[in-house]
Homo-oligomer: A and B are copies of this chain.
Amino acid sequence: MRRIYVIATGGTIEKVYSEQTGNVQNLDSKIDRYFRLLRLPDAEIAVTHLMNKDSLEMTDADREKVLTTVREKLAAETAPVVITHGTDTMVETGLALQNNLHDLRFPIVLTGAMTPLGFEASDGLQNLTESLLAARILGPGVYVVMHNQVFPVDRVRKDRERARFVWK
């Protein structure tokens, strides 16, 4: 049984539709329900619900909190880490991690979604599935994993128009 840490920070992947307001928002975390749709007989997924924010609203203090949490996990047990995150500032958080974490022995994978989990045509479950696999087989480093692509975090940017990540 291999442990994989998951740190949930919010973003589109966790957004829900509110019948009262008619908007999609980061209200309750729903990622656990989607992990239960996957078969993971040899993985122990340890989820930390750190915050539930649109990534455009994440502050430096929030990013510091992500860094601290990753450090705690890696101190407790060296195992891969998957971070679910809004796509707009995912790269910024990833670079902060890369700049502050040294001698990594496992990969840190950032992922998210263009359309919330459970909405028609959502890419959320695909990205979660890919990230959990990438967490097991990639070498040490900080990566963005989405849409069948793996990017080292210092080589990627979001292409907002096309709703995907591209090499930079």
Least CB separation from A12: chain B residue = B22
| A121: B residues at CB distance < 8 A | 118
Are A41's CB and B119's CB within 8 A?
no
Q: Encode contact with B along A120-162: 1 for CB under 8 Å, 0 otherwise.
A: 1101001001101110111000000101111000000000111
Are A118's CB and B119's CB within 8 A?
yes
CA gap between A121 and B19 in the complex, in Å: 11
Main secondary structure of the interface of A (DSSP, over half): loop
Are A39's CB and B123's CB within 8 A?
yes
| A40: B residues at CB distance < 8 A | 147-148
Asked whether any CB of chain B lies closer than 8 Å to the CB of A81, the reply is no
Question: Lowest 3 A-B CB distances belong to which pairs?
Answer: A118-B120, A19-B163, A39-B147
Q: Which of A20-45 contact B (CB under 8 A)?
A: 20, 22-24, 37-43
Are A132's CB and B148's CB within 8 A?
yes
How many chain A residues have a CB neighbour from B under 8 Å? 43
Q: Which of B17, B129, B150 contacts A119 (CB 8 A)?
A: B17
Asked whether any CB of chain B lies closer than 8 Å to the CB of A115, the reply is yes
Known contacts A17-B116, A24-B23, A116-B17; A39 and B164 CB within 8 A of each other: yes
Q: Output the residue of A20, A41, A136 with the most chain B CB within 10 A.
A: A41
CA gap between A145 and B136 in the complex, in Å: 12
**Cβ of A11 to closest chain B Cβ, rounded Å:** 10
